[in-house]
Amino acid sequence: MEQEASVPRTDSDHEEIGRIHWDYTDGSLMVYNLEVVKMDTFMPASNFTGAKRTFKGPDGRSYAWKMGLSSCSLDVTGDTSVKSRTVVHVRPNITAKRAKMEVDDEVLPMLDLIIITWVFMEQRRYGRVY
């Protein structure tokens, strides 16, 4: 079964920033920056459950999504000059149906990629296609 999810920009022109082609038999594909890559290759699972996946950012550093029971975080893991630290934290909002994403200023240039990879992780966790 193949499905798609696109991630539109939030500015006024609604330009599409990426697309995920969900395919549970051959593996999902991500279309980003005019490139098509397999999600399992771009963001391989770092543990048995798939609750932690890593990818290389455009800045050359490694990042790891870690999924908790109700929240998730994105950590910088590939910068050997500093200790691993959280740069994005997503928490559920008790009063609203949408989660709250807190993003450090240093990773704002790659916010598009952060959102696309977060959508992939959330789908893996909840089985929903956005």
- Residues 12-32 have pLDDT tens digits of 566 778 888 888 788 889 998
* % the chain with pLDDT above 70: 74
Q: What is the DSSP letter of 51?
A: -
Please give the residue range of the domain that contains residue 22.
2-126
- pTM of the predicted protein model: 0.76
**Total of domains in the chain:** 1
Which tokens hold the place of 109? 């240039």
Q: What is the pLDDT of residue 88?
A: 85
- The yes-or-no verdict on residue 82 having pLDDT over 60 is no
- The yes-or-no verdict on residue 50 having pLDDT over 90 is no
- The yes-or-no verdict on residue 10 having pLDDT over 70 is no
Q: What is the pLDDT of residue 113?
A: 92
Core vs surface per residue 23-35: b (16+ CB within 10 A) or e: eeeeebbbbbeee
